Structure 1
């Protein structure tokens, strides 16, 4: 079994600590060097606005300062792991208030970003069109399914929304899908179902398996591009593999080891078409995020 060398690990660490954002630096220290939760929360707090939502470029592909449901979902992915910390609890309370305030009755969910995203540098897929929606919004579950999961997890903070009804609606939407157009929608559903495990019925698991089988790219040559690779659906060795052969998961881990051994970092396999000067900054930020994610995956599968 291939494992990451000490030299490559140190190179990836040095890249994150020298070039990463304060958030990724603090997350690396928290994950690997007994760093403090306080430093992670301090870094995250810099992205939270007075309305309780998150913005300010937390999702590095759009530099909108104002809050958005999408950026708030990114923040909650981190906050959920630190929820017992008093400062995290306060930040979560404000985020839940923001989600209630921005909930769209007619959508029974949220739009990913507000129209103001167009006023700031961003990747083209985040542009909001004349109908008030971005391309992301063509798939309801991204980020609405995931955000409903956080409402369930922190239901004691919810004042107005009927959370059980929203959970049932989200799961029903998943079951009614005939085709699977968005891997990101499935990532959001996997996060929702991790927070609401009682909803992982046999019927739901069958639907998830159909979705993953139709979306996942299993061949190494595809992984150089922006595609849903096996580890995107299988975060731990114990997780449902959705019919993905175990040797493909191992090959995916080998792929990231090879990348880190050769380059010392993981760079984004996508790019912007405008605002190329800002893209250079976003690219470096993403490289810190992706490199940290690769190290955590390798540790999870005992490859360090």
Structure 2
């Protein structure tokens, strides 16, 4: 079991603080240096639009300034951690307003990004095609399943949508899947079931295990690429293991310790095909996100040297 040295931790910390976005800097400071929650919320608020949704490159592969359901899902992943803060409560209320406004009745959910995102730099997988959908939208649960979870969690702010019906539809969709083409759809379902634990029936657990087993890449030679590695499904000690051997989780942690020891940060394992100047900026932003997030994971698993 490898531990990240104090020296490597400081190198990674300094990289985030010098090169990361204000959001990742505030998240790091909050987790490791007793930084105020207000700094995180102020940084996150810079990405929120007047309609309550989030955009402005919060998801760095989408540089659309306007709101999108996918960027709003990213924001809510942060906001749920600070839901007791008055400022977060206001931001959540406005985000729920946006989700109700952007809900598509015929889809019983959301499309990840609006067509207007084509007018701004973006990764090719976010391009909206003539049918009004990006490749991401082939898998309904990303982000609709996750967004339904936020509606449930903050139901006091929902005025127009019938949450029990939406939850039931989301679960029936998941249980009907015979193959799993998108790890991101499964991540969204894992977040949904974390928010609505009463729905984690034995049938759901069997389907989740089947999904994870079909997607997870267990061998470290794969981890240099953009793949669903063990920590994507087991984000903290005590999480369900879905049949992933514990020694593979430990090896995955060792892998990231080695990467940070070697490079002082983590960098994206993917790239855009177009917009090279914008990708250079997004690459830096992603490096901050990945580095801060991995340091947080290593902390949860007690992999930081004292």
TM-score over 0.5 for the alignment? yes
TM-score range, shorter chain: over 0.9
Partner Cα separation in structure 1 for residue 75 and residue 172 of structure 2: 26
2:122 maps to 122
1:229 maps to 229
Map 1:212-291 onto structure 2 (within 5 A): 212-291=212-291
Deviation at 1:236?
1.2
Question: CA deviation digits over 1:58-115, x for unaligned, max 9?
Answer: 0000100000000000000000000000010000000000000000011000000000
Question: CA deviation digits over 1:14-64, x for unaligned, max 9?
Answer: 010000000000000011100001000100000000000000000000100
TM-score by length of 2: 0.99
Question: CA deviation digits over 1:234-269, x for unaligned, max 9?
Answer: 011101100000000000000000000000001000
Give the CA RMSD over aligned residues.
Answer: 0.4
Question: CA deviation digits over 1:114-143, x for unaligned, max 9?
Answer: 000000000000000000000000000000
Partner Cα separation in structure 2 for residue 38 and residue 293 of structure 1: 19
Matched, 1:135 2:144: no
The alignment partner of 1:112 has SS state of: coil
Partner Cα separation in structure 2 for residue 295 and residue 164 of structure 1: 37
Give the unaligned 5+ runs of structure 1: none
1:13 maps to 13
Question: CA deviation digits over 1:184-234, x for unaligned, max 9?
Answer: 000000000000000001100000000000000000000000000000000
Partner Cα separation in structure 1 for residue 122 and residue 169 of structure 2: 32
Map 1:1-304 onto structure 2 (within 5 A): 1-304=1-304
Partner Cα separation in structure 1 for residue 12 and residue 172 of structure 2: 42
Partner Cα separation in structure 2 for residue 293 and residue 27 of structure 1: 9
The alignment partner of 1:224 has SS state of: coil
The alignment partner of 1:187 has SS state of: helix
Give the unaligned 5+ runs of structure 2: none
